[in-house]
Homo-oligomer: A and B are copies of this chain.
Amino acid sequence: MSAAWNPRASEEGETPPRPELSNWGRWGEDDEAGAANLLSPEVLLAALTLPRSGEVVQLSQVIGDPKAPRNGAPPQHFMLHDAGDYLAGAKAPSGFQTAVDHLSWATHGSVTHLDALGHVWYDDQMFNGYDHRAARSNGLRRLGIDKAPPFIGRGVLIDIAKTKGVTRLDPGYEVTAADIEEALQSAGEALQAGDCVLIRTGWITAWESDDVRYHGDRPGIGLDAAEYLARHDVALVGADNSGVEVIPWAPGTVCPVHQFLIRDCGIYLLEFLDLEELSRRDATAFLFIASPLRIRGGTGSPIAPVAVL
């Protein structure tokens, strides 16, 4: 970890991210998968034994649903051919009729997505010390989302909103390490290396009531919680908000949780989740599956993660 950087530099008396939490070099000098390395075959095989009912809960938002939160312009869905064309006279050769479409969207703005490790950095260096000049107009030459393997492992729901007894946490509420411990204790779970941790803030429900409210201050994790999760060697941190971390950031910092988890630790962030159904079912630990599209040099991928109970 760069000695020069301190996401909390402006806060006197705060401890900077500890060098021992950095994962640079841990999986080799040429590694581009980061904490996904924690999802070993053993971790995977153990996770496969978790399901009891075989029920599947989808954790992604519906793309194109006006009720699904997003950040920026909505996804674009163009139909290239549809039934109307046949009604208007298009021929159906040998009876064959078809509808086909085209998709266009900003990865980080409009859909449930997994961040690539090359999505954010500071001091001109990305995770594992890669030079940031890898990020060019034709994509990421290092740490693109095509370097992220499928995530198949143990998922753990950290249901902060439920623990606090609210529909959703307050705007600007910072989820702390203590909050996470409280939620785990309440669920009777403990974190394990390689876990895929899903933080439920309930913030997805803010979209329904007020768009403007949604994009202002919002609940999420802060550096304290991020360090706690990094110390427990999780592979992935997801949340039901637009960027996992709390807004406002600590004074003098911009996206400190992204900077720390992605760039220092190589831990993946999964954003715009829908955790409502999982919460309704009182899920705690489960088989978690998230397979990113293999987009060459992509800064992230739209994704459809699931929990198997």
User: How many copies of this chain does one complex carry?
Assistant: 4
Cβ-defined partner of A48 (8 Å) among B287, B290, B294: B287
Task: Assess whether A266 is interfacial by the CB under 8 Å rule.
Answer: no
Let me know if B41 and A101 touch, CB within 8 A: no
Q: For the complex, what is the distance from the CA of A299 to the CA of B63, rounded to whole Å?
A: 13
Q: Which of A16-24, A70-78, A176-184, A228-236 contacts B (4 or more CB under 8 A)?
A: A70-78
A 93-109 contacts with B by CB, 8 A: 93-108
- Answer whether A77 and B297 are a contact pair too, CB < 8 Å, given A54-B45, A83-B134, A137-B85: yes
Q: List 17 A-B contacts (CB under 8 A).
A: A7-B95, A41-B54, A42-B54, A44-B54, A45-B54, A61-B294, A88-B134, A88-B135, A95-B259, A96-B258, A100-B119, A103-B103, A103-B107, A150-B289, A289-B289, A290-B291, A294-B304
Question: Which residues of A approach B to under 8 Å, CB–CB?
Answer: 5, 7, 40-42, 44-45, 48-49, 51, 53-56, 58, 60-65, 73-90, 92-108, 111, 118-124, 132-140, 146, 149-150, 152, 252-255, 258-259, 287, 289-306, 308
